[in-house]
Amino acid sequence: MEILRFIATRAALGVLTLIAVSLLLYLGTQLLPGDVASALLGQSATPEALAVLRAKLGLNVPAWLRYLHWLWGVLHGNLGTSLTSGTPIASALMPRLANTLFLAGYAAIIAVPLAVGLGILAAIREGGILDRVSTMLSLATISFPEFFVSYILIVVFASQLGWLPSLATVYDGMGFWDRVDATTLPALTLVLVVVAHMLRMTRTSTLAVMSAPYVETAFLKGLSRSQVVLGHALPNALGPIIAVVALNLAYLVVGVVVVEVVFVYPGVGQLMVDAVSKRDLPTVQACGLVFAIAFIGLNTLADILAALANPRLRGRRGR
């Protein structure tokens, strides 16, 4: 009962956050200079053409009313139509969302086990060679900007060695392995960028509980260091590890615009950037909503999992 109520509360809070985010997004896009009509016509806009296009796109309706219309549509599963292409947003968004999730999933499958595994190993052999090397390398990769890591990978693996393509263009009807081949370089870039954070967190939170009295007891029982870490320290350190993994998974979905641009990957980020520059408000809103759902959803999930992993948390947060 307790846990169900906890989940319900978290979910309700998530929905509220989503509505707040959509409102902020809307206000933010309203602050952008110019509107879709002037962005569409660009340098070649005449006042007459602007007026015609504004009327056609319904931009003469007050902003708050347009927001309510939009919200009403979304609640009924209708994301609206794009102001620039006139086609339903869902049809442009969904394939791209699938692409984004594919790339995020590919990166996560490599990054999460790698980071958590290395983090635990580093904690077991604190101060050892593996600990120091992994710390140094992961800090180095996180310190470089993503586009720099991307270009280095392109130069080495695409231009010099010719092993992997530098263009990650994927399309409908592409075979699974072709898709994997095309997205390997961007996925590797993302792995290098997110591994450090998770690795450090796993190592630190495991080591943090190593000073607790029950760990000392475990050592006194005669258990080896790896038994203590895996059997006693790790379960208690799981909460923060889950949180940081969720945060990084969310980043893999929402924060990859730069990588998409460098590798020309048709994901949601690129769609959103195009939409912002064209002031295609409904598309920006839809992309923002998708990102917000991914972010809030993963964080809510992390909260719930962390609570399940630690009954004490569940009791305190539920009320």
Name the residues that contact another protein, by CB under 8 A: 32-34, 38, 40-47, 49, 52-53, 82, 84-85, 92, 151, 154-155, 158-159, 162, 165-167, 169, 171-172, 261-264, 266, 270-271, 274-275, 277-278, 280
CB of 157 vs another protein, minimal distance in Å: 9
CB nearer to another protein: pick between 130 and 273: 273
Q: Give the nearer residue to another protein in terms of CB position, either 12 or 41.
A: 41
Instruction: State the angle between helix axes of 146-153 and 176-209 in degrees (0 to 180), rounded to the nearest 10.
Output: 130
CA distance 96 to 90: 10
The owner of tokens 């139509």 is: 81
Nearer to another protein (CB atom), residue 162 or residue 175: 162
- At CB < 8 A and 24+ separation, what contacts does 173-177 make? none
Q: Which amino acid is present at 244?
A: V
Nearer to another protein, 8 or 155 (CB): 155
Give me the DSSP letters along 83-119. Answer: TTT-SBHHHHHHHHHHHHHHHHHHHHHHHHHHHHHHH
CA distance 30 to 26: 6
State the minimum distance, in angstroms, from the CB of residue 58 to another protein.
15
Q: Which is nearer to another protein, 8 or 167 (CB)?
A: 167
**At residue 216, what is the residue type?**
E
CA nearest to 29, candidates 255, 281, 273: 281
Nearest-approach distance from CB 266 to another protein, in angstroms: 5
> From the CB of 268, what's the least distance to another protein, in Å?
10
Q: Give the shortest CB-85-to-another protein separation in angstroms.
A: 6
